[in-house]
Structure formats: C-alpha cells, structure tokens
Structure 1
C-alpha cells in the first residue's frame, strides 16, 4: 500500500491561491499576521513553512554553521556599511592587536579583512573570533575610541 504525500499538492496550490487565501494560511502556519510583502515572498515563505512542519526543520549543525557565516557578514545595515567604508583603512594596511599574550594581525583587503588566512567582511566578526565575546571591531583594533562610539 502506497501512501500519498499531500505536500507537493499543497505547494502547487500556493500558485493559484488568492492573496487573501495566502494571508489566511500565513496566520494558520505562523500564528501571526502576514508581513506587508509581495505575493512572491508570501508564497516562498509559506512553501518553506509547509515543508518544515511536514519534514522537519534544519539540523542543529546547519543552524550553527549559518549563524557563524552570518557573524562574518556585516549584518546588512547599508547605512553603517557606507559609513564604515569611508572609515576603512586603505587596502594592505595591517592591524595588529595583542590579546591574552597572542599577537593578532589583520590585513585590510579590497573587499573586507583577512585574519589567519580567512576572509571576513566584518572586523567585528574577527574581534569576536579572537575574544569569544561580542566586540565592536573598530574599538577592539583601536580605530575608534569607546567615547566616539556613543
């Protein structure tokens, strides 16, 4: 006896559902009001959620890996990125910081920073990797004082 998997049919039905129907499904599946985004966004998030509930979510090790990758990125704040770009030392500059009797050397690259042979988009991600705690990388490497930050 074969069992029929209803999930592919539910996913296909998203394409023909009306926007009010999609929003009703959102309320059922997320237990919250739908965001004011376009139909395509609603469809994709609903499709993911339907599959997540039926088949399970991401594995814990995948979530951890994604979190680590996210920490290496700038965080997506375009305004802060532009400000930092104006303040970034010129390519090739070496930033040196001693932490717990270990000297750490970071090289400024054209598209970010490099530490221990690995590229980083955020200097704060490097400071966190070195210290194990959240730091403002500009403060950690002495490019900005704590007082100037406030």
Structure 2
C-alpha cells in the first residue's frame, strides 16, 4: 500500500508542481535558481551592474555579454563554475548562447523572455541582500556572542 501512496504523491507533485512535496520536479529548478552564481549571472545579463552601459536601455532590456565580460564582472567565479552555470541556464531556456563566426569566434549570452522574468525576481534578492547585510552581520555578532 505504501508504494501506491508514494506513486500517487509523485503523480500529484508532478501534476500540481508543489515544491513542498518530495518528488516535485520544481525542486530541481529551485535548487538551480537558488545558486549564487545563477543569481549573479542573471543580474549581470539583466544589466543591473551598469545602468549607463551601452546597450542597457532599461531594466527590462537584457544585455548581450561575452563570456569574458561576465567572468570579469563576477569576482571569484571559476572558469569551470561559470561555464557550468551558463550551460545549465541555456539548457533551461533562461539564456541564449550566440556564436558569431569571426576570427576568433565570438560567443555572447543574453537572457530570454523566461530568463528576464526570473531576473526580476533575482534582482530583488540581490538588492535585499545588499541593503540588509549590515543588519545580518550585527545579528550574527550578537548570536555568536551569546552562543557558548
């Protein structure tokens, strides 16, 4: 009977995409988009880093950026991690990778409509983290001082 119940829960999770259910496929997507590098790549391609940059028409206009531009912008990201992040975002349909046959080959990345809709959410997360970091650090200090 437990197998039937588990199978039913899996089917329900898939049908409803309820992330609170263990077998829900949306949990994989939550794992992906909660990664710091994903958030930062989305913010970079969304133009959050340089409102005056050529091509940054508005907050709703994604930028096309080359790999090297993204890499320079995201301090501390390894080549392997950036490559994996960009590939996974492309696979999920959140960005497009455009190869231009020049010498050397030019590769650029740009948010899709789906990626832009997620960027609006991640922009808020990044902004919240930057705005409230002093408060969080103060709470950490207080907590650590009380903890034996």
Whose helix proportion is higher, 1 or 2? 2
Which band: TM-score by shorter chain?
under 0.3
* Greater fraction strand: 1
Q: Normalising to structure 2: TM-score of the pair?
A: 0.24
Higher relative contact order (CA 8 A, sep 6+): 2
TM-score by length of 1: 0.24
